[in-house]
Structures are given as C-alpha cells and as structure tokens.
Amino acid sequence: MQPNIYGIRFSKVGKVYHFDASHLLELKVGEHVIVETTRGRQIGEVIQHIPDPTPPPDGSWKSIERRASSADLLLRQNWAQKQTAAMIECRARSSELKLAVKIVAAEYSFDGSRLTFMFATENDEKDEKVDLKSLRKDMQKIFSETQVDMRQIGPRDVAKMLGGMGACGLETRCCSKFLTEFSPISIKMAKEQGISLTPTEITGMCGRLRCCLIYEYDQYVAARKELPKRNKRVVSPDGEGKVIDVFPMRNAVLVELAPKNPMDRPLWKEFHRDLIEPWDELEALRRKSAAPCDRHEGGGCDCGKARTGVSEVPAEPAEAQLPAESLPEKRAPEPQQNRPPRQQDNRRSGQQNNRPSGPQQNNRPAQKRQDNRPAGKPENRPAAPPETPASGKTDSRPNRRKPFRKNPKKGPDGSA
C-alpha cells in the first residue's frame, strides 16, 4: 500500500514534518490533526500534501492518529492560557537559585500531559551545558499534575519566539514571518556581495549574522563568474583601462581610463559586460596574428611556414618517386652459420681446471728440502754482556744513542 504523506506544522512559523495518513480519508489543507511526537501528543495543522515523498532515514513515517475535534481545540486553548503563568514561576525560581539562564517560554501539550520550558544561556551559546536539575525538580513539585522538561534553544530561536522589528527596519523579523529553518551564514557571503563588514551592518537582533545574507548569494556568485576581477586590465570602447569596481547585479564594471592630458586626473567610467574585453585575451590574439608562424608565437623562427606561408612537410625519398620496376632488387640477408661454441679458458677466469686423472698425471711424492743450518739463533752469535759503569752498578735502562757533538775548537796552544 502506497503511503499517503502530508506536511504538518505545529506553530505559525515552524518547521514542516511529514506524517502518514493512509488510514484516514482525504485530508484538506488547514485541518487540524493529532499526532504523537517526541514531546508528547500535539495538535498540528495540515499544510500540504506530498505526492512523491522521500523516504526518511529510519525507513518509515509516523502515523496521524485522528482528526482534531472542537473539544481538542478548546482544551489546547485552555492550557495555552496557563503557559505565561508557568513561565513567570520558572523565571522567579531560577533567579532565586542564581542560575545563568534565561527562561524564554513555556509550552503545554494540547492535553496538558507535558510542560516544556525553553531556556537560553547568558552567553547565548547553545553548546554550553548548565546544570538545571535543581530547577527542574522544583518545577516538578509545583506542577505535579504534568511532566516537566527543560529544553535549551539558540539565540536565533529566541529572536524568532520573541518576535519584533528587524535590524533593517521591517516591522516583523524574517525569522518570525516566513523562515521555517535557519541556514548556516558565513562572513564570506557578505564579502562576495560587497557589503560593509561593520558589525552593526551585518548582524541581526539575535547578535548573529543576518539571515538575509544568503538570499542573493548564489546570484552574486553566478554573476561574478562572467565579470573580470578588480585590478584586471580590460579594453573598452574608450581605450585600455583597469577595473576599479564590479557591479554583479547590473552586469557592469567601473573602469579607470588614462586621461588624454597627463596632467589631468584618471577618468572613471562604467561599462556593460558586452562592451569590454579582457586585455590578456586580446594581447594573446594580437601576438598570435603578428607571429609569422602559429607554432612559434615569439617570432624569429626559420621554418618553412615563416618563409613561404606554407607549413613544411618532409619530402618523400627519391626511391619512393621511382616506379617499382626500376628499383634494385633487395637481397635477403644470409643466414648465420651455427658455429660450435668456443671452449672457455678457465685459467684466466680463476676457475679450477678439473682434468681427469690418467697416466700422464705426476704421482711422485713431493721431496722436502733439507736445511743443513745448525739450530739456534741466527748466525749463532753469543749475546753481548751488558756494559758495567765505573761505579760498579748495572744500568738497567735501555741503551740510548748519545747525541752527536762536534769537536770543540782548540786554541793556538792546543787547549780546548
């Protein structure tokens, strides 16, 4: 059975959720139905019918329980009147506990079975964790007939709930008027559109970058691709110049032109995209047309096309131009004779020559050479006794060579 999917919304400007209504008759846009959500049973409004829905990640849709009756709508209105009192009570208790949170709103389910308090931190950081166990415990004692939950929201959700005038002067903020989801905004979007980066110019009432920065971002990106960038050289009907500014939505650029008189100031003039050409492309075409050869743009080539205007083609050999009958007959190469391999000389290669043993082998035993010298020290000379000094003591020190001294000069009488 093919599912019958409808889009349901639970608040005036809220996200649309898809539910299956296969067991119900055809629903009409604007009717109210009761569905089961993660925050209990809620009354939602039928916004649209989805003919070709995309399957959810978990593989199935939640079902619509039934159509909401008039008694259900009165019951929701009755509990909605108690939401303001519950919010005031929670704010007072959080002030007594000195918690760094802001209680933004309180929301009852349509039958009063669940009460949810929306809060934000003082630093407006959704990732910041705050311990609210004591506050939740106190609220559960006060509202004992219902289940109390605490839900943290971001600064944009706070601005959407509170409503009011926008930073641009609109009576109702975009988030409270038609935005159902918040898209990620970056400072690059403001730069691409040429918006001033002053904080007061690009931030909204929530203290974050304005959601409207993404409205025309894609159009600016597509338009800039067809226009030259700043400081690029272009050729206009009034001559060459430099791009000073780009106007993507007008598909035009502001060009700085050189004055006719060098003493005058440069001229600034706006040109449409169709009236200008990039200087780089024109210069490349000019160089290509001025070059004698398209293969040598720098010029100075000596090829055949530069001389005659016709590209050089290698001429065919003279033999190819003669008839086949006049060409000499080509002789086939003679086959090489299979010669026996040369015996390798093992003596030069250092390998051992293993010749077979035979009668030619010398089997005589090797004769040992006789040594007739007497055993002992070489030359059989006796060792010289150590010298004994005049004092009678033996000098055990090794013999040292005495330094060479010249004979002293003698005088005329023969004395030294």
- Could you read off the pLDDT of 193-202 as tens digits, one per residue? 989 899 988 9
Q: Tell me the C-alpha distance between 176 and 158, whole Å.
A: 10
Q: Tell me the C-alpha distance between 268 and 29, whole Å.
A: 57
Q: Is 261 left (phi over 0), alpha (psi -120 to 50) or beta?
A: beta
Q: Tell me the C-alpha distance between 286 and 384, whole Å.
A: 109
44 class by beta-carbon count within 10 Å (0-12 exposed, 13-18 middle, 19+ buried): buried
For residue 32, what pLDDT is reported?
93
For residue 69, what pLDDT is reported?
92
Q: Tell me the C-alpha distance between 376 and 400, whole Å.
A: 28
Q: Tell me the C-alpha distance between 142 and 133, whole Å.
A: 14
Average pLDDT across the chain, whole number? 78
CB 160 within 8 A of CB 175: yes
What does the buried/exposed string (b/e) look like for 126-158 if buried means 16 or more CB atoms within 10 Å of the residue's CB? eeeeeebeebeebbeeebeebebbbebbbbbbb
Structure confidence by residue, pLDDT tens digits, 348-401:
544 555 555 555 555 565 555 555 555 554 545 555 555 555 545 555 555 556
Tell me the whole-structure pTM to 2 decimals. 0.60
Once rounded to an integer, what is the mean pLDDT over residues 95-117?
92
Q: Tell me the C-alpha distance between 309 and 319, whole Å.
A: 28
Q: Tell me the C-alpha distance between 34 and 36, whole Å.
A: 7
3-state DSSP assignment of residue 49: strand
Whether residue 6 has pLDDT greater than 60: yes
DSSP 58-92: TS-PPBEEEE--HHHHHHHHHHHTTHHHHHHHHHH
Angle between helices 133-142 and 83-96 (to 10 degrees): 140
Residues 6 or more apart in contact with residue 30 via CB below 8 angstroms = 45, 46
Domains and CATH numbers, the chain: 5-68 (no CATH), 78-153 (3.30.300), 162-223 (no CATH), 226-283 (2.30.30)
For residue 115, what pLDDT is reported?
93
Once rounded to an integer, what is the mean pLDDT over residues 288-312?
57
For residue 160, what pLDDT is reported?
92
Structure confidence by residue, pLDDT tens digits, 14-65:
888 999 888 888 888 999 999 988 888 899 999 999 888 888 877 788 889 9
Helix (H) or strand (E) run with residue 379 in it: none
Residues 6 or more apart in contact with residue 266 via CB below 8 angstroms = 256, 257, 258, 259
Q: Which of 285, 280, 279 lies closest to 241, judged by CA?
A: 279
Q: What are the CA-CA distances from residue 230 to residues 175, 206, 217, 258, 286 (Å)?
A: 35, 34, 19, 17, 23
Counting other chains too, the contacts that 207-216 makes at CB distance below 8 Å and 24 or more residues apart are 207/124, 207/155, 208/155, 208/156, 209/185, 210/167, 210/168, 210/185, 211/156, 211/174, 211/175, 211/179, 211/182, 211/183, 211/185, 212/168, 212/174, 213/185, 213/189, 214/183, 214/185, 214/189, 216/249
Q: What percent of the chain has pLDDT over 90?
A: 34
Tell me how crowded residue 74 is: count the other CB atoms within 10 A of its CB: 9
For residue 349, what pLDDT is reported?
47
DSSP 273: G
For residue 258, what pLDDT is reported?
86
The two beta strands, 40-50 and 16-20, are: unpaired
What does the buried/exposed string (b/e) look like for 383-415 if buried means 16 or more CB atoms within 10 Å of the residue's CB? eeeeeeeeeeeeeeeeeeeeeeeeeeeeeeeee
Q: What are the CA-CA distances from residue 229 to residues 234, 245, 254 (Å)?
A: 10, 8, 11
